Amino acid sequence: MDKTAIQEINAQSALKALNVNLNEQHDIVVIPDGATPVDLVQFTDKRRWFTGKFNSSCLSSFIDYINNNKDTHLPLTHIYISTDSMTARAFFDIRHDDGSPGKCEHVATLGMRPTPEMSAIKDLCISDALNQRQLAEWLEEWGEIVTPFDKDNNDIDLKKAITAIRGMTIESLRKTDSEVGDMNQSRSTIDRIEAKGTAVTVAGFTAHHIMCYDEIATQDITVKLRIITTGETVAFKARMLRTQIIEQALRENLSDFIIKATAVSNTYLGEFRA
């Protein structure tokens, strides 16, 4: 028996003794270099425990999945609802019946997507300045959900608003001021340019009772329009008002809905990462 064989026998004996001690205390094993661990569960008829990840953007499907899986895991199910986004996660195996930690490998995740109406308003507000044709076409496409208003907050007929936007022209006035407003801006200290409509001036629009996310309470959204005049062209920049307040209200609606629909006692506001 050569030196290499003797060293290998000694190493195997040391590993065996070390593994016996580790298993008794920590459920840890030591394997020699070059060894490849193999999980034999793939050759058995059953898993050692249930694992699975369910992902959905549909709130009702997320609720149904929780309710259909929580019965056998009621003491173990935990739900975490984000306070920063329209997302939530449910863990069904965070603990065992005896209170010991679970594997956290059975998870349901909700990531809600805004409705087409909400997406259209958001895209409008984050986009670059729109010219007259682009804004008029946007109002034509989404006119069913918005009500334009003038600078005095009086409602304007949609067709009149679109006509006013298309017919807006630039008027130059010799002034000595530097005023900047929603409907005008100063070019210099002595030359002031102003955008004027044919009959009315569209200051913005309101989208009443918009369902921002499916199955979540509706919101009223107001968008203000700022006119940008450059040379002989007119452009519009949209800005949604009370954005943070609306987003907070939507998140609160989501958490209230999940809490009532699932009745899971271990429900928390925040995020949990296993």
Residue 201 has pLDDT above 50, yes or no: yes
Give the mean pLDDT of 264-273.
Answer: 90
Q: Identify which has the larger pLDDT, 255 or 187.
A: 255
Question: DSSP letters of 132-167?
Answer: HHHHHHHHHHHTTT-EEE-TT--B--HHHHHHHHHT
116-126 vs 132-142: helix crossing angle, rounded to 10: 170
Q: What is the pTM of this model?
A: 0.75
Write out pLDDT tens, residues 206-250. 999 999 999 998 999 999 999 887 767 788 999 999 999 999 999
Residue 15 has pLDDT above 90, yes or no: no
pLDDT of residue 109: 97
Interatomic CA distance for residues 81 and 59, integer angstroms: 12
The lowest-confidence range among 11-25, 49-63, 86-100, 220-234 is: 11-25
The lowest-confidence range among 74-78, 133-137, 207-211 is: 74-78
Give the mean pLDDT of 16-45.
Answer: 58
Nearest to 206 by CA among 158, 246, 148: 148
Q: Identify which has the larger pLDDT, 2 or 158.
A: 158
What b/e sequence results for 64-92 when a residue is b if at least 16 CB atoms lie within 10 Å of its CB, and e otherwise? ebbeebbeebeebbbbbbbeeebbbbbbb
132-142 vs 158-166: helix crossing angle, rounded to 10: 170
Give the mean pLDDT of 73-92.
Answer: 87
pLDDT of residue 72: 56
Element (H, E) at 184: strand 184-186
Residue 183 has pLDDT above 60, yes or no: no
**Amino acid code (one letter) for 201:** T
Three-state SS for 113? coil
Q: Where are the domains of the chain?
A: 3-111+252-269, 116-241
Give the mean pLDDT of 132-155.
Answer: 94
Query: What's the longest Cα–Cα distance across the chain?
Result: 107
Residue 136 has pLDDT above 80, yes or no: yes
Contact, 101 vs 272, CB < 8 A?
A: no
Q: Identify which has the larger pLDDT, 104 or 122.
A: 122
Nearest to 257 by CA among 110, 53, 91: 110
